[in-house]
Structure 1
Amino acid sequence: MTDSHQHQGALRTVVLGSGCFWCLDSLARRLKGVERVRSVYTGGTGPAVYEAVCAGTTGHAEAVEITFDPGVLPAEVLYEVFFSTHDPTSLNRQGGDVGPQYRSVMFYADDAERTELEQAISAAQQSFSRPIVTVLEPLGTVHEAEPEHQDFYGRRPGVGYCQFVIDPKIAQLRRRWPQWLAEDTPA
């Protein structure tokens, strides 16, 4: 359990949920300026363990804590990747992942960040014909997910979920944002 909204010099940390954390985790790790990525549980009050969160009764979302250098990767680009690589118009569902733990959510640490995230949702809405249902929630305690969920794609790219759900998102990232890919991005 940590307070995840820490500013370390010029670095900034945001916590976003876009369905299964394995997806956003794998995408964030490929972006320039990203210093740290952690799959986490937050937004609820129940036990912060995978089985309990998956049951959908804890209130926690699967989310990703992304620490990045906004001088290298503008927050607006990170938000564009976030909105474009999941369906923010789908309530509590991303593909086959169903339940409140898979909600589209942006966590804010203060009023300034809340305003920034509201503006990001408003800007993203222009790209969608259906209303965006991404929720804004205050950032509370962040619980690191179990070790097997950290960099899941990097460790297990051959798993079916990775091949059928994450690979197309990585291909989209390469097509749409090649200028924002880190030099050492895996193939």
Structure 2
Amino acid sequence: MEDKNIQIATVGGGCFWCTEAVFQEVKGVENVVSGYSGGNVPGRPTYREICSGLTGHAEVVQVTFDANVISYQDILVIFMTTHDPTTLNRQGADRGTQYRSVIFYHNTEQKNTAEIVLNELAEYYDDPIVTEITEAQPFFEAEKEHQDFYKNNPDYGYCTFVVEPKLTKLRKLHADKLK
């Protein structure tokens, strides 16, 4: 059996419940953790603090994946096509800097790949892509109740009306990349 090539991608595309649910269905993804990154206040932020929009953190997911199964480029294409990367600090009804579209790169290769992907996808959107490409910053795991949220709460209203349409889009656009 071939050795694994484990890598990490950190992305934020609005509420982390959506992004987490999307990547949990992708082949080659080993783990998805909801959390916070990109803030400018000391200490470990809480969900309540993040929701205030005052900490500067974004809701993100940290995706651990096997690059021998799925490439970082494919991870980013899935990310960019399952949320709206053209709305600044907003995804649907969720508004604030904590819901911004952001890619936190972990090395120069990831930064270069992110720039290429955003450039290639730009022509498919009517509005300009506003996704930030930023060097990885400290990642703080979200509280336990936010982990596996969709799996644990599929009938919750937000899951029905916001998460499920993103999963439908994932399944339609990226069927060949699913577990």
Do these two structures clear the TM 0.5 threshold for a shared fold by scoring above it?
yes
The one of 12, 31, 35 aligned to 1:17: 12
Q: Quick one: which amino acid aligns to residue 11 of structure 2?
A: L
Letter in 2 for 1:73: I
Q: Write the letter of the residue equivalent to 1:107.
A: F
Alignment partner, residue 118 of structure 1? 115
The CA deviation at 1:114 is 1.3
Q: TM-score, normalised by structure 2?
A: 0.94
- How much does 1:40 deviate? 1.0
Query: What is the distance in 1 between the residues matched to 2:85 and 2:34?
Result: 19
* CA RMSD between the two structures: 1.3
| CA distance in 1 between partners of 2:111 and 2:75 (Å) | 16
Tell me how many residue pairs correspond in the alignment.
175
- The match for 1:127 is 124
Structure 1 match to 2:95: 98
- Structure 1-normalised TM-score? 0.90
**Structure 2 gap segments, 5+ residues each:** none
Deviation at 1:170, TM superposition (A): 1.0
Once the 2 structures are TM-superposed, how far is the Cα of residue 152 of structure 1 from its aligned partner?
Answer: 0.2
Of 146-155 and 123-132, more deviation after overlay is shown by: 123-132
Aligned pairs for 1:104-183 within 5 A: 104-182=101-179
Cα deviation for residue 111 of structure 1 reads: 2.3
Distance 1:179 1:113 in 2: 23
Secondary structure of the structure 2 residue equivalent to 1:131: coil
**Aligned residue identity for 2:100:** R
More moved, 148-157 vs 80-89: 80-89
